[in-house]
Protein backbone atom coordinates (compact mmCIF):
# COMPACT_ATOMS: atom_id res chain seq x y z
CA UNK A 1 0.00 0.00 0.00
CA UNK A 2 1.09 3.60 -0.32
CA UNK A 3 2.27 3.78 3.30
CA UNK A 4 5.26 1.71 2.25
CA UNK A 5 5.95 4.17 -0.51
CA UNK A 6 5.74 7.05 1.95
CA UNK A 7 8.29 5.34 4.18
CA UNK A 8 10.62 4.80 1.23
CA UNK A 9 10.19 8.40 0.08
CA UNK A 10 10.99 9.60 3.59
CA UNK A 11 14.28 7.74 3.27
CA UNK A 12 15.03 9.63 0.07
CA UNK A 13 13.75 7.13 -2.51
CA UNK A 14 12.87 9.26 -5.56
CA UNK A 15 11.21 6.39 -7.41
CA UNK A 16 8.89 5.77 -4.50
CA UNK A 17 7.95 9.42 -4.33
CA UNK A 18 7.43 9.51 -8.08
CA UNK A 19 4.99 6.63 -7.74
CA UNK A 20 3.23 8.41 -4.89
CA UNK A 21 3.03 11.57 -6.97
CA UNK A 22 1.48 9.69 -9.86
CA UNK A 23 -1.06 8.11 -7.52
CA UNK A 24 -2.07 11.47 -6.08
CA UNK A 25 -1.35 13.88 -8.93
CA UNK A 26 -4.57 13.50 -10.90
CA UNK A 27 -6.73 14.13 -7.91
CA UNK A 28 -4.56 17.13 -6.97
CA UNK A 29 -4.96 18.52 -10.48
CA UNK A 30 -8.72 18.09 -10.33
CA UNK A 31 -8.83 19.95 -7.02
CA UNK A 32 -6.43 22.72 -8.05
CA UNK A 33 -8.22 23.40 -11.33
CA UNK A 34 -11.55 23.66 -9.60
CA UNK A 35 -10.15 26.12 -7.08
CA UNK A 36 -8.13 28.23 -9.51
CA UNK A 37 -10.31 27.89 -12.66
CA UNK A 38 -7.17 28.01 -14.81
CA UNK A 39 -5.38 25.00 -16.19
CA UNK A 40 -1.86 26.46 -16.21
CA UNK A 41 -2.14 27.93 -12.72
CA UNK A 42 -3.49 24.63 -11.44
CA UNK A 43 -0.65 22.76 -13.12
CA UNK A 44 1.86 25.09 -11.45
CA UNK A 45 0.16 24.72 -8.08
CA UNK A 46 0.24 20.93 -8.27
CA UNK A 47 3.89 20.91 -9.28
CA UNK A 48 4.73 23.27 -6.43
CA UNK A 49 2.78 21.14 -3.97
CA UNK A 50 4.44 17.91 -5.08
CA UNK A 51 7.89 19.47 -4.82
CA UNK A 52 7.11 20.83 -1.36
CA UNK A 53 5.84 17.41 -0.35
CA UNK A 54 9.11 15.86 -1.50
CA UNK A 55 11.11 18.39 0.53
CA UNK A 56 8.98 18.04 3.65
CA UNK A 57 7.94 14.40 3.59
CA UNK A 58 10.43 13.25 6.21
CA UNK A 59 8.40 14.92 8.90
CA UNK A 60 5.04 13.48 7.90
CA UNK A 61 4.21 11.74 11.14
CA UNK A 62 1.52 9.37 9.99
CA UNK A 63 2.06 7.87 6.53
CA UNK A 64 -1.64 6.98 6.44
CA UNK A 65 -2.36 10.67 6.25
CA UNK A 66 -0.27 11.32 3.18
CA UNK A 67 -3.19 12.42 1.04
CA UNK A 68 -4.78 14.86 3.53
CA UNK A 69 -1.31 16.22 4.24
CA UNK A 70 -0.65 16.69 0.54
CA UNK A 71 -4.02 18.35 0.06
CA UNK A 72 -3.16 20.88 2.73
CA UNK A 73 0.10 21.68 0.96
CA UNK A 74 -1.81 21.85 -2.31
CA UNK A 75 -4.33 24.30 -0.88
CA UNK A 76 -1.52 26.60 0.24
CA UNK A 77 0.07 26.28 -3.19
CA UNK A 78 -3.24 27.28 -4.80
CA UNK A 79 -3.44 30.32 -2.54
CA UNK A 80 0.11 31.26 -3.50
CA UNK A 81 -0.62 30.83 -7.22
CA UNK A 82 -3.76 32.87 -6.98
CA UNK A 83 -1.99 35.68 -5.16
CA UNK A 84 1.35 35.82 -6.82
CA UNK A 85 0.80 34.17 -10.17
CA UNK A 86 4.31 32.76 -9.89
CA UNK A 87 5.40 30.25 -12.45
CA UNK A 88 7.62 27.32 -11.65
CA UNK A 89 8.47 26.92 -15.30
CA UNK A 90 9.26 29.47 -17.91
CA UNK A 91 9.21 29.21 -21.65
CA UNK A 92 7.01 27.26 -23.95
CA UNK A 93 4.55 24.86 -22.46
CA UNK A 94 3.86 21.60 -24.12
CA UNK A 95 0.34 21.37 -25.34
CA UNK A 96 -1.25 18.57 -23.47
CA UNK A 97 -4.37 16.62 -24.18
CA UNK A 98 -5.83 16.41 -20.74
CA UNK A 99 -8.90 14.32 -20.12
CA UNK A 100 -11.81 16.50 -19.25
CA UNK A 101 -14.98 15.46 -17.54
CA UNK A 102 -17.69 15.93 -20.15
CA UNK A 103 -20.14 18.74 -19.51
CA UNK A 104 -23.14 17.56 -17.60
CA UNK A 105 -26.14 17.51 -19.96
CA UNK A 106 -28.42 18.50 -17.11
CA UNK A 107 -26.53 21.75 -16.53
CA UNK A 108 -27.63 24.21 -19.23
CA UNK A 109 -25.01 26.30 -20.99
CA UNK A 110 -26.40 29.49 -19.47
CA UNK A 111 -26.31 27.98 -16.00
CA UNK A 112 -22.75 26.85 -16.49
CA UNK A 113 -21.57 30.24 -17.72
CA UNK A 114 -23.32 32.08 -14.93
CA UNK A 115 -21.96 29.71 -12.32
CA UNK A 116 -18.46 30.07 -13.77
CA UNK A 117 -18.65 33.85 -13.57
CA UNK A 118 -20.09 33.77 -10.07
CA UNK A 119 -17.59 31.19 -8.85
CA UNK A 120 -14.64 33.20 -10.18
CA UNK A 121 -15.82 36.20 -8.18
CA UNK A 122 -15.35 34.29 -4.92
CA UNK A 123 -12.09 34.52 -3.00
CA UNK A 124 -9.70 31.65 -3.48
CA UNK A 125 -10.24 30.64 0.16
CA UNK A 126 -14.00 30.45 -0.37
CA UNK A 127 -13.54 28.42 -3.55
CA UNK A 128 -11.27 25.97 -1.74
CA UNK A 129 -13.87 25.30 0.92
CA UNK A 130 -16.58 24.71 -1.68
CA UNK A 131 -14.36 22.40 -3.73
CA UNK A 132 -13.40 20.24 -0.77
CA UNK A 133 -17.01 20.05 0.39
CA UNK A 134 -18.95 19.82 -2.88
CA UNK A 135 -16.42 18.18 -5.19
CA UNK A 136 -14.66 15.81 -2.81
CA UNK A 137 -17.79 15.41 -0.70
CA UNK A 138 -15.95 15.90 2.58
CA UNK A 139 -17.84 16.86 5.75
CA UNK A 140 -17.10 20.26 7.25
CA UNK A 141 -14.81 18.84 9.95
CA UNK A 142 -12.72 17.06 7.36
CA UNK A 143 -12.58 20.18 5.19
CA UNK A 144 -11.24 22.07 8.21
CA UNK A 145 -8.60 19.42 8.72
CA UNK A 146 -7.53 19.36 5.09
CA UNK A 147 -7.26 23.13 4.80
CA UNK A 148 -5.91 23.71 8.30
CA UNK A 149 -8.51 26.15 9.57
CA UNK A 150 -11.10 25.97 12.37
CA UNK A 151 -14.48 24.36 11.67
CA UNK A 152 -16.16 27.69 12.39
CA UNK A 153 -14.09 29.36 9.71
CA UNK A 154 -15.07 26.68 7.19
CA UNK A 155 -18.74 27.23 7.98
CA UNK A 156 -18.33 30.98 7.78
CA UNK A 157 -16.53 30.81 4.44
CA UNK A 158 -19.13 28.45 3.06
CA UNK A 159 -21.96 30.68 4.20
CA UNK A 160 -20.43 33.82 2.70
CA UNK A 161 -19.47 31.99 -0.48
CA UNK A 162 -23.00 30.73 -1.07
CA UNK A 163 -24.48 34.12 -0.33
CA UNK A 164 -22.10 35.69 -2.81
CA UNK A 165 -22.92 33.04 -5.40
CA UNK A 166 -26.65 33.54 -4.96
CA UNK A 167 -26.24 37.30 -5.25
CA UNK A 168 -24.17 36.96 -8.42
CA UNK A 169 -26.61 34.52 -9.99
CA UNK A 170 -29.58 36.70 -9.11
CA UNK A 171 -27.85 39.75 -10.58
CA UNK A 172 -27.11 37.83 -13.77
CA UNK A 173 -30.72 36.68 -13.96
CA UNK A 174 -31.96 40.26 -13.58
CA UNK A 175 -29.57 41.47 -16.27
CA UNK A 176 -30.71 38.71 -18.64
CA UNK A 177 -34.39 39.43 -18.17
CA UNK A 178 -33.95 43.16 -18.69
CA UNK A 179 -32.03 42.46 -21.92
CA UNK A 180 -34.85 40.18 -23.08
CA UNK A 181 -37.39 42.92 -22.42
CA UNK A 182 -35.36 45.43 -24.42
CA UNK A 183 -34.96 43.04 -27.36
Partner 1 sequence: MSAPRDLDGLLTTFLKEGPLELPDPSYDQVRDRMDHTRQRTFIGPWRTSDMNRYLKLGLAAAAVVVVAVIGYNLLPGSAGPGPGAGPTATPGPSVASPPPLTQTFTSTVHGISVSYPAGWIARAATEPWGPEGPNFSDPFVDVLYDPVLEGNLHLRIASQPIGESTPDEWVAEQLAGDGCSTTEPITIDGATGLIGANDCNTVAVATAGRGYWILLHTSPDDPSAVAPYDRAWFEEVLATVQLHPEDAVDSGASPSP
Q: Is 125 in the site for partner 1 (CB under 8 A)?
A: yes
Q: What is the CA 155 to chain-centroid distance, rounded? A: 18
Site for partner 1 in 126-145 (CB under 8 A): 126, 130-131, 134-135, 144-145
Rounded-to-integer distance, Cα 1 and Cα 118, Å: 41
CB of 133 to partner 1, least distance (A): 9
CB of 7 to partner 1, least distance (A): 13
Rounded-to-integer distance, Cα 90 and Cα 113, Å: 31
Binding-site member from 41, 77, 138, 143 for partner 1 (CB under 8 A):
77
Q: Is 104 in the site for partner 1 (CB under 8 A)?
A: yes
Binding-site member from 2, 8, 67, 80 for partner 1 (CB under 8 A):
80
Question: b/e per residue, 151-167, with b = 16+ CB within 10 A?
Answer: eeebeebbeebeebbee
Contact 81, 50 (CB under 8 A): no
Site for partner 1 in 9-68 (CB under 8 A): 12, 14, 17-18, 21-22, 25-26, 28-30, 33-34, 39, 42-43, 46-48, 50-52, 54-61
Enclosing H/E stretch for 28: helix 14-36
Q: Is 72 in the site for partner 1 (CB under 8 A)?
A: yes
CB of 112 to partner 1, least distance (A): 7
Contact 79, 32 (CB under 8 A): no
Amino acid sequence: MHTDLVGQAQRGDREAFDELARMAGDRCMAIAFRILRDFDLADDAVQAALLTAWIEIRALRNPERFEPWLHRILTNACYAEARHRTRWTAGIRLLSVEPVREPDPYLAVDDRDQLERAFRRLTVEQRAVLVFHHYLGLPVSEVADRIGIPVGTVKSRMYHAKRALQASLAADARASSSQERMA
